[in-house]
């Protein structure tokens, strides 16, 4: 689909510098732009590329003043915030390319399932008994929706996602390929001989509105009650959320984060990649956890934490400086020890 500079400026409430009739049909990074493509410039670090780009249109901040001559084929659309405006265009592009309502064959929909209007259901998808699917939901091929599952309007489930029985997904959620929602939590009880018996996991998972869950992440059902992912949470690929965990509104987890059972994360918590959080603890609202950190105990006051076990970031930096000096310190100790022994012998 093509867009003219005039149309783009209209969507973004921007100003045009150049040809308002020039059209684009593709998106590209500014350094990789080709004729017919749209790019953006927000970071001054990349300004050099705008003088060489072959893109037809570039979105820039209104404060941008060229220091060199721009390509004659380039039209600028000037906006208040180039980065957020480009993101808005990506969202428009995504909506235009959203799957159109239809039910592909072969697929299975239970007679007792309640299906809203505007459903796209891909081939080999399965919708179980008493499931409730809202309006304008997109369910891609090979998705499994078990019995009694609820999915809110406008949500998207990408290929190979699975939602186990009784789980609930809110409105406008995005569930990426391979996500598993509602598999059994890791619950086992050893007997007197150390043999593990499985503890039945009879709870569910509740995913509230506007949540996005990255590919191949898993969210376990609660032993009893619910594992809860609150409104606006963003979860990256390959994350593990254990049973009875609760993640507060608008928190974000990067790839390979692991959260053990019954941990409670507050609102606006940010967790870096490969961080681990122990079970049965609380993380205060607004806490930031640096990548590869380990959290063994509750965090009562918002802070930025790093290390394993994690400590406040500034303390970690000081400790790490000392750690790097250890070889020098050890050499000094050995030298002092040698001198003390020499002095002792003389006495």
Instruction: Supply 90's token pair.
Output: 């990506």
* DSSP tag of 30: G
Confirm if 290 and 271 have CB atoms less than 8 A apart: no
Report d(CA 341, CA 338) in Å as an integer. Answer: 5
Confirm if 317 and 324 have CB atoms less than 8 A apart: no
- Residue 282 appears among annotated catalytic residues: no
Confirm if 168 and 150 have CB atoms less than 8 A apart: yes
158, 176, 243, 280: the catalytic one is 243
Q: Using alpha carbons, select from 278, 287, 284, 282 the residue that is nearest to residue 309.
A: 278
Count of Cβ atoms closer than 10 Å to residue 46 Cβ: 15
HSE, side-chain direction, 13 A CA sphere, residue 66: 14
Q: Using alpha carbons, select from 246, 254, 286 the residue that is nearest to residue 272.
A: 254
Catalytic site positions: 243
């Amino acid at each position: 689909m093509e867009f003219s500079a005039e149309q783009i400026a209209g969507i973004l409430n921007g100003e045009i510098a150049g040809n308002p009739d020039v059209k684009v049909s593709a998106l590209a990074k500014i350094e990789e732009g080709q004729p017919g493509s749209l790019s953006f410039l927000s970071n001054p670090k990349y300004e050099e590329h705008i003088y060489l780009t072959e893109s037809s249109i570039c979105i820039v901040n209104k404060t941008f003043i060229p220091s060199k001559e721009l390509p004659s084929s380039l039209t600028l659309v000037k906006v208040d915030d180039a980065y957020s405006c480009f993101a808005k265009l990506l969202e428009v592009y995504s909506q235009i390319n959203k799957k159109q309502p239809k039910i592909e064959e072969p697929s299975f929909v239970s007679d007792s399932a309640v299906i809203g209007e505007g459903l796209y259901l891909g081939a080999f998808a399965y919708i179980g008994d008493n499931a409730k699917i809202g309006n304008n939901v997109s369910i891609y091929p090979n998705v499994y929706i078990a019995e009694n599952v609820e999915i809110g309007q406008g949500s998207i489930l990408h290929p190979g996602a699975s939602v186990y029985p009784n789980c609930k997904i809110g409105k406008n959620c995005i569930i990426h390929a391979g996500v598993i929602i509602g598999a059994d939590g890791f619950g086992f009880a050893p007997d007197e001989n150390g043999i593990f018996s499985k503890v039945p996991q009879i709870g569910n998972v509740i995913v509230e509105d506007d949540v996005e869950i990255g590919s191949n992440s898993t969210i376990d059902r609660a032993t009893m009650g619910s594992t809860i992912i609150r409104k606006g949470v963003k979860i990256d690929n390959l994350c593990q959320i254990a049973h009875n965990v609760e993640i507060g509104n608008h928190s974000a987890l990067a790839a390979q984060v692991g959260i053990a059972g019954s941990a409670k994360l507050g609102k606006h918590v940010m967790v870096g990649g490969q961080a681990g959080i122990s079970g049965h603890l609380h993380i205060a609202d607004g806490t930031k956890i640096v990548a590869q950190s380990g959290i063994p105990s509750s965090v009562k006051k918002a802070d930025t934490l790093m290390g394993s076990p994690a400590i406040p970031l500034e303390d970690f930096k000081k400790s790490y400086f000392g750690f790097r000096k250890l070889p020098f310190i050890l050499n000094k100790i050995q030298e002092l020890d040698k001198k003390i022994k020499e002095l002792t012998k003389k006495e």
